[in-house]
Amino acid sequence: MYPVINSLKNILRQYRRYRVLIPLLLACALLSGTFLTLAVPCRVYSDQKSAYKDAAAEEEAVRLAEQDDRARDLGETASLLQFGVMLVGAAAILYVSSLMIGERMFDVGILYSLGLSRGQIFVSMLIELVTVCAGTITVGLAVGRVAAEAYLKHRIAEQLLPEEILYYMETGTAEMLCIAVSAGILILPVLRLTVRLLRTDPCGFLRDRK
């Protein structure tokens, strides 16, 4: 029970040490939620657009073709941007989390000297890290999805994109990808924490600081 209580208290005590990681996670999650919500329905629609090519009037056919092209371009662009966000974001998150966890190693040494086991220390820091990161990522993905959905509806209202795109937003594919992305983002700092604790002598940090 102590690791849980201690980790929740540390969220308030150690908030300054998350001053870089939290904005980085928030930005990465927000962009991911936005680009995935844009990319998935546009890409799926582009793959199945032949079903909507039955316009009788030539002008209507031209308008639908232009909408199809915009949807395809938007889907491809959002996919590329999402790939870039994940590539750069993963490297940045891993680096920043390494620095933040390195700052906490002195605290780990103190807890270890007070009699806490390595497992208790790990569980305490893990709960703290997961709580902060998961909350930040959830907010970022939700805001990104709302922003992307509003953008798509605005473009559809201006008849620049086909209305059928909204149908493909309800398939749940974007939500599943968002969950996968959030898990991928979250596992990076957790993995770094695990490796750092397993390969480190906690008491060594106390000796180094004396």
Interval 85-119: pLDDT, tens: 888 888 888 888 888 777 777 777 777 777 777 77
CA pair distance 51, 61, nearest whole angstrom: 13
Q: Give 163-210 pLDDT, tens digit per residue.
A: 888 787 776 777 788 788 888 888 888 777 777 776 666 555 555 554
Query: Residue 37 class from Cβ within 10 Å (0-12 exposed, 13-18 middle, 19+ buried)?
Result: buried
- Whether residue 154 has pLDDT greater than 70: yes
Radius of gyration of the chain (CA): 23
Place of tokens 């907010």: 139
CA pair distance 1, 7, nearest whole angstrom: 10
pLDDT for 47 equals 74
pLDDT for 143 equals 93
Which residues, other chains included, contact 168 with Cβ-Cβ below 8 Å and sequence gap of 6+? Answer: 40, 41, 44, 45
Which residues, other chains included, contact 209 with Cβ-Cβ below 8 Å and sequence gap of 6+? Answer: 106, 109
CA pair distance 182, 134, nearest whole angstrom: 8
